[in-house]
Amino acid sequence: MHERKEEGITIDFFESVYHGEPPWDIGHPQKEYIQLEHAGEIVGSVLDVGCGTGENALYLAAQGHDVWGIDFAPTAIQKAQEKAAQRHLAATFLVLNVLELHTVERTFDTVIDSGLFHSLSHEERPLFVDNLATVIRRGGTYFMLCFSELTPVPDLSTLKDFMPNLSELKPEDYARLRVTQAEIKASFQDGWRINYIRPATLEARLGPNEVHGWLSSISKD
Ligand code: SAH
């Protein structure tokens, strides 16, 4: 019998969205990350996985952190590098698939994720978590901001203006974006400690402008 491999949302999809203005690309950092920085929870060096055009990474660089951002969409990384140059901020941005994080060959004190994990397929998530373990030091913390199952399925008519190629997304792509706490716990069992999973909002440039999500703090043993 033919087994169908479940794919994540493709590079091509993200790449063509970044030629326009993705709804999540809000031009400033997510407030959840500003609050974490103010609370002193973001410590030391920082890796932003799926950094997009770099607003969260650049915010943390401006606060004095040694920051790297990686994303598999070259256009997003180019925009992030241009912003860093314009703002005179030192941050390193690289085109890389998060399933190849082990090739980075350095570790970070903190890893942040704003909307990456929820876009990965169910098959990719465990591979991502294994790769994540290679770039985070023992005792270091991964912060993950994702959509939750409490978020209504988006009204596609409002999204089409922002993402002309929206029809490329499959129903299962939408379904996966709405992550449950149980899924997060199941993904981070061995070798990880979940400090908290708390309700959070993700800001976006469409109605509703804030989407219900989870903010997780997960440390590596
Ligand atoms: N963190 C950014 C972008 C969120 S959208 C922000 O808050 O604005 C999710 C991002 O993850 C996109 O930029 C997409 O290109 C990237 N992405 C998705 N799957 C990826 C993968 N396998 N490897 C690297 N980046 C990926």
Residue 1 pLDDT greater than 50, yes or no: no
Q: Are 194 and 45 in contact (CB under 8 A)?
A: no
Cα dist. 29→35, 55, 113, 125 in Å?
A: 10, 5, 12, 25
Indicate whether 128 pLDDT > 60. yes
* Cβ count near 221 (within 10 Å): 9
Among 36, 48, 68, 72, name the best residue to mutate to test ligand 1's pocket (greatest count of ligand atoms within 8 A of Cβ): 72
- Token duo for residue 179: 């992550």
What is the C-alpha separation between 21 and 184, in angstroms, rounded?
Answer: 29
Cα of 147 vs centre of ligand 1, distance in Å, is: 14
Question: Nearest residue CA, atom 5 of ligand 1?
Answer: 115
Could you tell me if the CB of 119 is within 6 A of ligand 1?
Answer: yes
**Residues 37-75 pLDDT 10s:** 999 999 999 999 999 999 999 999 999 999 999 999 999
Q: Is 50 in the pocket of ligand 1 (CB under 6 A)?
A: yes
How much is the average pLDDT of 115-136? 96
Report the pLDDT value the prediction gives residue 174, as an integer from 0 to 100.
Answer: 77
Can you tell me the distance from the alpha carbon of 54 to that of 159, in angstroms, rounded to the nearest whole number? 22
User: CA 117 to CA 106: how far, in whole Å?
Assistant: 21
Contacts of 144 (CB under 8 A, 6+ apart): 113, 117, 184, 214, 215, 216, 218
CATH superfamily of 11-220: Vaccinia Virus protein VP39 (3.40.50.150)
Alpha helices for the chain (secondary structure H):
11-18, 31-38, 55-62, 74-86, 124-135, 156-159, 171-177, 181-187
Domains of the chain, residue spans: 11-220
Q: What percent of the chain has pLDDT over 70?
A: 91
Average pLDDT over residues 195-215: 86
Q: What is the Rg, in whole angstroms, of the alpha carbon atoms belonging to the chain?
A: 16
Say which residue, 187 or 178, is predicted with more confidence: 187
51 lines ligand 1 (CB under 6 A): yes
93 with 84: CB under 8 angstroms?
yes
Of 86, 35, 96, 83, give the one whose Cα is nearest residue 63: 35
**Distance from Cα 4 to the centre of ligand 1, integer Å:** 24
66-101 pLDDT, tens digit per residue, is: 999 999 999 999 999 999 999 999 999 999 999 999
- Report DSSP state, residue 3: P
- In this model, does residue 199 exceed pLDDT 70? yes
Nearest atom (ligand 1) to Cα of 11: 15
Q: Please state, rounded to an integer, the average pLDDT across all residues of the chain.
A: 91
- Whether the pLDDT of residue 163 is over 90: the answer is no
| Amino acid 155: pLDDT | 61
Which CA distances in Å does 81 have to 70, 71, 95, 147?
11, 12, 11, 27
Contact 68, 135 (CB under 8 A): no
